[in-house]
Structure 1
Amino acid sequence: MLGTAGGKLVKAVALTAGIALSVMPGRSVLADNLTDAFIGAYNTSGLLEQNRALLRAADEDVAIALSALRPIINWTVRVSQDYAKSRAGTVVSSVEPSRFFSGLTLSQLVYDGGASILGKQSAQETVLATRQALIDIEQQVLFRATTAYLSVLLQEETVQIRQNNVNLSGEELRATQDRFEVGEVTRTDVALSEAQLASSQADLADARGDLSTAQAEYVNAVGKQPGRTAGQPRLPKLPGSLAEAISLAQRNHPAILSAQHQVRALDLTVQQQRAGLGPNVSLNADAGITESYDNDDYTNDASISLNFNQPIYAGGRLAANVRRAMAQRDASRANLLNVQKDITQGVTDAYVRFETATASLRASVERVRASQVAFDGIREEATLGARTTLDVLTAQQDLLDAQLAEVASRTERSLAAYQLLQAQGLLTAERLGLAVQIYDPTLYYNLVKKAPAQISKQSRDLDRVLKALRRE
């Protein structure tokens, strides 16, 4: 937890998602649902911590840019050795005085065509772009948690279905052996049932291996071992049409907002570089004591000067800086167009994926119902001698495939729904109402934006914030 100053970096948001319970033996008492996965991922993500630190670094760039508008005061110690030779008529004299200066020097920018102010404004736009990039990273972290949770759930259900199929195959083998003993079926029927049981056991072993892999990914994404899963999550509220989803994404997606701020930042950088071609005026002053090494003489002196500089020739560096800034700005504009297109495509893909998964789920549910009726009927007919063992095993496999398809379709629909949420820029801790301490990027910025001196109260507050962050 953050201290008094650090605690302001976050704000509590009430949890709105409930916890559903499901029954599965051999697991912990409390059930893990998708909300638990979100909370774990948000609180333990190293990727989020990395990008929060990058945002704080961008905040400091604003303070650095602001400092160019303020006076610079230094304690200066200067040792000088002068040499002068002069001729007066036939007399040639030379002087080599040595001096020691100790005192304060001041330099204050008076005018630079607005270059420093433009630099500060560009840094501020970069901060806004980095904040949006952090939100996009947050979406990626939460979607990875979604994928990890649904993958564990899918594999658990697959293991359960495979286990049921092994049990069913064992029952079929015992029934076939009983019928063989009374002469109703042949040794071939027994062999078919034995093969079916062995195949079911192999599939169960594969499913358990896939479950272990999914659990390992869950630990990586969420930061803890999965408990007993609470089943499929409630679907989030989704847009009524593809056009509505695209419109919302274009207005709201953090990747687009970040790219827009990047364009504005580089526009300001171009203006800053152009201003650098003009004159600048600075005020310089010093005050201190000058002593001579040759004797014990000393002087208390002070000086002040107003310096005017106009670049005339700098080897082409200044013009190259302008052209480079323009090229970077043009690249950012092109990137914005690409981001907008990618977001539109991402929304379209997620929307179509959800629609397809929904239709597939409806078909899968009907397929399971029909396959169950068919299997029950064929199994009953086999006991009367109207069906062969191969017919029963074929119907059993059809039922198994239908059950697996239904589970996969249900998981696919949930995954597509949250992918659509992410594609619109809505998969964030704040919008989901997670019971976590929401990171507040404005507090640190507000502490540093005025570039506090190292001995100020704000600087001490910053030290406490940074110490609290390092303890988390």
Structure 2
Amino acid sequence: MLRLVSGRVARMAAFAASVAVLALGPRSAVADNIADALIGAYNTSGLLEQNRALLRAADEDVAIALSTLRPIIDWTARIQSSYTKSGNALVSSTSHPDTFFTGLELTQLIYDGGASVLGKHAAQETVLSTRQALLQVEQQVLFRAVTAYLNVLLQEETVSIRQNNVNLLGEELRASQDRFEVGEVTRTDVALSESRLANARANLADANGALTTAHAEYINAVGHHPGRTTGQPSLPGLPRSEADAAALAQRNHPSLLSAQHQVRALDLAVDRQNAALGPTVRFNAEIGMTDDFGGSDFADTAAARIIYSQPVYSGGRLMSQVRRAMAQRDASRANLLNVQRDVTQDVSDAYVRFQTANASLSASDERVRAAQVAFDGIREEATLGARTTLDVLTAEQDLLDAKLSQVTARTERSLAAYQLLVAQGLLTAERLGLAVQIYDPTLYYNLVKSAPSAISKQSRDLDRVLEALGKK
């Protein structure tokens, strides 16, 4: 929710201003962490803006449904021409009276079996469903930012490791050349060192290309160039067990809550269509002036009537609408079951992924330690003539592979941890405590839910809200 002390319109204006901030240039002097990536994605996402607009459209459906319960007043102007011929076998007469009417006409629904009220309740359930769908989109946007940040970090570390590898192989090549000069090694050893160095340079070029691609994805996901990264983020709070994670997801996941509200909305839609099979009672009144074009007479007129109508035959349309609503309701119930199962599976997959990544990182740490000890020893032995150049280069390659596996495993563990948050429905700006203006879905709804007229104070407030959002 927006936590500002000023009025509703001022809050919305401040929110819109914060959304409009978009840093487009390089920020090499600023250190980016994962929170910066999440904030940038939240503040600049076009996908979030799109779905917020869809939510406002759903809010308006509540106002439209409410308007059917209120009196409708129209100003009307009517020109009427009629032809009448009357008489008997001896005498007949013909008249062509023309009349003009202008005035106000009022129509008020009195009874429709509750169909209009049910329509309003269904629209309200759809709003609640759309709010949860917006939260799920927010999760997708933020997880993409997490993925982009971690990928930039992975590629930066990969470039650094490969650059160090190039430097180390350069030293090995110089050492091989020196030893060749004094006859300790053959030309084959020098050529082998040259080959490994050329391969390392090619791999470094590939790593730099992957880093450039990662930067492009970061700009797309976050909205600005990545600055100097601050390293691997600390892990977010995680559940104690898979069962705890699954239980929380069943209570909290926005996709599941959205599906539940959609089922309730379509249940109400079925009741509404059934109610539409019954009678409708409306009150109609008009007051105005009638003028006779054929003469100089005019009259002030007023009329009121109660209109009762009952569908008798509509070509099968009404029952078809009932059956269609029932089919849509059944589809939503089946979808709810699918979503429940998907949420449970997503939690399980994310939990297993994290456990696997955690074990892989532990093994990689040990592998790096052992490979470093082996490389240092073999290199020292080579200086004493007990090892060949090939032995040194093989040990160096093992160390390189171990370090690359280590950074990949560390990134995978962080990614799995945030995926577990998504699976539980916890990767939202509000739950993460991001330093952003949290979009308040109730602010616009509260202004439109009573369907204010065009000349009311609420309507003027709405105009200012839309102007603050840059939508008018």
Aligned-pair CA distance for 1:273: 0.3
Determine which of 5, 8, 13 is the counterpart of 2:11.
8
Residue pair 1:109, 1:283 contacting (<8 A) in 2 also: yes
Once the two structures are superposed, the pairs formed by residues 313-324 of structure 1 within 5 Å of their partners are 313-324=313-324
1:463 counterpart = 2:460: no
CA deviation string 1:258-277 (max 9, x = no partner): 00000000000000000000
Give matches, 1:409-428, under 5 Å: 409-428=409-428
Count of aligned pairs? 459
In 1, Cα distance between equivalents of 2:351 and 2:92 = 94
Determine the structure 1 residue equivalent to 2:293: 293
Q: Distance in 2 between matches of 1:220 and 1:65?
A: 39
AA paired with 1:334?
A: A
C-alpha deviations, 1:23-74, integer Å up to 9, x for none? xxx9823310000000000000000011000000000000000000000000
- Find out whether 1:227 has 2:227 as its counterpart: yes
1:203 lines up with 2:203 in the alignment: yes
Change in Cα spacing, 1:422 to 1:7, as seen in structure 2 (3 Å) is farther
Alignment-derived partner of residue 268 in structure 1:
268
* Letter of the structure 2 residue corresponding to residue 319 of structure 1: M
Q: Structure 1 residues 111-120 or 76-85, which shifts more?
A: 76-85
Q: Distance in 2 between matches of 1:295 and 1:303?
A: 23
1:138 is aligned to 2:145: no
Amino acid at match of 1:6: V
Q: Does 1:341 align with 2:341?
A: yes
* Equivalent in the alignment of 1:99: 99
Select between 154-163 and 84-93 the one with higher mean Cα deviation. 84-93
Partners of 1:103 and 1:77 lie apart in 2 by 7
**Structure 1 residues 23-422: aligned runs within 5 Å:** 28-422=28-422
How far the C-alpha of 1:7 sits from its partner, in A, is: 3.6
* SS across alignment from 2:438: strand
Query: Mapping of 1:14-25 within 5 angstroms?
Result: none
Q: Provide the C-alpha distance between the structure 1 equivalents of 2:142 and 2:113, rounded to a whole number of angstroms.
A: 46
C-alpha RMSD of matched pairs (Å) = 1.6
Cα deviation for residue 9 of structure 1 reads 4.1
Q: What is the deviation of 1:6? A: 3.4
Structure 2: runs of 5 or more not aligned: 16-25
Aligned to 1:438, what secondary structure does the other structure show? Answer: coil
1:85: how far off?
A: 1.5
1:23 corresponds in structure 2 to none
Q: In 1, Cα distance between the equivalents of 2:65 and 2:328? A: 20
SS in 1 for 2:302: strand
* Structure 1 counterpart SS, 2:232: coil
Alpha-carbon distance between aligned partners in 1 of 2:165 and 2:9, rounded to the nearest angstrom: 55
Q: Distance in 2 between matches of 1:468 and 1:180?
A: 75
Q: Is the 8 A contact 1:368 1:399 kept in 2?
A: yes
Indicate how the Cα distance of structure 1 residues 263 and 10 shifts in structure 2: closer, same or farther if over 3 A, else same: farther
Instruction: Provide the residue aligned with 1:15 in structure 2.
Output: none
Cα shift at 1:471: 7.0
Query: Relative to structure 1, is the Cα distance of residues 53 and 126 closer, same or farther in structure 2, using a 3 angstrom cutoff?
Result: same
Query: TM-score scaled by structure 2?
Result: 0.95
SS state at 2:420 partner: helix
Partner secondary structure for residue 470 of structure 1:
coil
Find the aligned partners of 2:32 and 2:347 in 1 and give their Cα distance: 29
C-alpha displacement of 1:286: 0.4
8 Å CA contact 2:85–2:92 kept in 1: the answer is yes
Q: Quote the Cα distance in structure 1 between the aligned partners of 2:281 and 2:440.
A: 40
The structural deviation recorded for 1:4 is 5.2
Q: What SS is found at the alignment partner of 2:470?
A: helix
Q: Specify the SS of the correspondent of 1:374.
A: helix
Structure 1 101/61 Cα, relative in aligned 2: closer, same or farther at 3 Å?
same
- Cα pair 1:5 1:464 within 8 Å, conserved: no
Name the CA distance, whole Å, in 2 between partners of 1:94 and 1:317.
43
Q: Percent identity of the aligned residues?
A: 72
User: How far does residue 88 in structure 1 lie from its aligned partner after superposition?
Assistant: 3.4
Q: Could you say which residue in structure 1 is the equivalent of 2:23?
A: none
Q: Give the deviation of 1:150 after TM superposition.
A: 0.1
Is the deviation greater in 165-174 or in 290-299? Answer: 290-299
Q: Which amino acid aligns with 2:293?
A: Y
Report what 1:20 is aligned to. Answer: none
